[in-house]
């Protein structure tokens, strides 16, 4: 009986340690650098290029919690160009376009920004056009 209790205790400790370490999985990689990259693209609402407003890229994460959100104006043809930090960025719309259609404030997308020049078209479906 003593041998059984020892084995059961060892198995329990192993199970708890396995749960705490995530069963050997590594956490996802998070960029902590201050390297900038350029992102260009087109903002479309219901398939039509936006003509106003701004696009915002948020590069913050737990390794760089105090980074500033970068914004760029959306041109009359829907295009934009912005410099932001490499790594994952959360992208949202703002400015005049969201004042006219408040539902657009809740549209957000994530993008992995790589060094160099990137292209990202921000498209929102026809339901947000109304």
Band of pLDDT at residue 30, cut at 50, 70 and 90: confident
What tens digit of pLDDT does each residue of 46-80 get?
A: 999 999 999 999 999 999 999 999 999 999 999 99
Q: What is the reported pLDDT for 78?
A: 98
Cα dihedral across residues 71, 79, 127, 130: positive or negative? positive
CATH code given to domain 36-128 = 2.60.40.1120
Nearby residues of 55 by Cβ (< 8 Å), 6 or more positions away: 43, 71, 72, 74, 80, 82, 91, 92, 93, 94, 122
Mean pLDDT of the chain: 84
Band of pLDDT at residue 102, cut at 50, 70 and 90: very high
């Amino acid at each position: 009986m003593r041998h059984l209790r020892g084995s059961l205790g060892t198995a329990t400790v192993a199970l708890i340690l396995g749960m705490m370490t995530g069963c050997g999985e590594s956490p996802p990689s998070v960029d902590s650098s201050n390297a900038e990259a350029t992102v260009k693209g087109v903002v479309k609402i219901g398939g039509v290029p936006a003509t106003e407003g701004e696009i915002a890229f948020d590069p913050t994460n737990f390794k760089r919690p105090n980074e500033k959100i970068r914004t760029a104006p959306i041109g009359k043809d829907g295009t934009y160009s912005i410099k932001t930090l490499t790594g994952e960025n959360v992208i949202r719309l703002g400015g005049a376009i969201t004042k006219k259609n408040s539902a657009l404030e809740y549209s957000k997308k994530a993008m992995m920004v790589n060094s160099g020049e990137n292209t990202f078209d921000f498209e929102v479906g026809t339901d947000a056009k109304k």
